[in-house]
């Protein structure tokens, strides 16, 4: 019967008198309903599902708009920094304030690195530099290597999740630094989260800091 109706989609249109005589059991009990009533119920359920999906899409859209606005607010002041040596501090302070990230660490390596008394210019282990070279996209999840954990003021004692971003000039295969965000919330930088906005942060930070590095003879 089902195959018969599939091959004849206009059957009930050609025989409308049959619809009124058809009944179906109701999913909520033994009550029977007409085919038309059942179709209306199915359509209502589909409409409700579409409403929920639309509401979810709108919510995600609002969230993305808010993040985009914050990204703009963070990046704009970087354009007006006159002294390249002030960029690391501007980048990290801006991330803390604009994105409400409690832990931000930045490290830059390369020949002729200035300001040896600054945290961002401290020597970095070879394994950390190699990690940055091999990761083109941000990595989120639980705690990282001991060296990276030491970059935070409290040694990551309160850190439950992290986002690590390698910094590089354009498409260079070699990174020149790493930007790390940490949070006491284990879900803030979950391993399954999307990293599109984190990638934008890494690109903006890299482009800004490239001006500092070129001023000190950095080569990639």
pLDDT of residue 19: 58
Q: With a threshold of 0.75, does the pTM exceed it?
A: no
Q: pLDDT for 11-65, tens place per residue?
A: 766 776 665 555 555 555 555 556 666 667 777 788 788 877 877 777 766 677 8
pLDDT of residue 3: 79
Q: 150 is written with which tokens?
A: 């030491």
| Dist CA 60 CA 90 (whole Å) | 29
Alpha-helical (H) ranges within 150-214 are 196-214
Phi and psi torsions of 181, nearest 5°? -115, 140
List, run by run, the mean pLDDT of 10-residue segments along the chain (220 residues): 76 65 56 63 78 75 81 92 89 95 91 71 91 95 86 88 94 93 93 92 94 55
| Dist CA 65 CA 42 (whole Å) | 35
pLDDT of residue 38: 66
Give first-to-last CA distance, the chain, whole Å.
Answer: 71
pLDDT of residue 18: 62
pLDDT of residue 83: 86
pLDDT of residue 218: 45
Count the Cβ atoms, other than its own, within 10 Å of residue 183.
Answer: 18
Strand partners, 179: 106, 165
pLDDT of residue 34: 60
Closest of 171, 182, 153 to residue 210, by C-alpha: 171
CATH number of 83-214: 3.30.450.40
């Amino acid at each position: 019967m089902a195959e018969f109706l599939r091959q004849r989609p206009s059957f009930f249109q050609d025989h409308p008198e049959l619809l009124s005589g058809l009944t179906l059991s109701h999913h909520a009990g033994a009550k029977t309903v007409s085919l038309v009533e059942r179709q209306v119920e199915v359509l209502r359920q589909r409409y409700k599902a579409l409403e929920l999906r639309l509401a979810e899409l709108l919510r995600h859209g609002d969230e993305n708009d808010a993040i985009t606005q914050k990204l703009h607010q963070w990046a704009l002041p970087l354009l007006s920094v006159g002294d390249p040596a002030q960029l690391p501090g501007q980048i990290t302070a801006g991330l803390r304030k604009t994105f409400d990230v409690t832990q931000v660490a930045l490290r830059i390596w390369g020949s002729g690195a200035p300001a040896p008394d600054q945290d961002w210019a401290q020597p970095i282990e070879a394994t950390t530099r190699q990690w940055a070279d091999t990761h083109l996209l941000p990595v989120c999840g639980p705690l990282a290597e001991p060296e990276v954990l030491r970059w935070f003021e409290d040694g990551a004692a309160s850190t439950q999740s992290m986002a690590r971003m390698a910094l590089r000039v354009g498409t260079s295969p070699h990174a020149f630094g790493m930007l790390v965000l940490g949070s006491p919330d284990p879900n803030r930088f979950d391993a399954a989260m999307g990293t599109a906005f984190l990638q934008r942060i890494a690109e903006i930070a890299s482009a800004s800091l490239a001006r500092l590095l070129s001023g000190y003879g950095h080569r990639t």
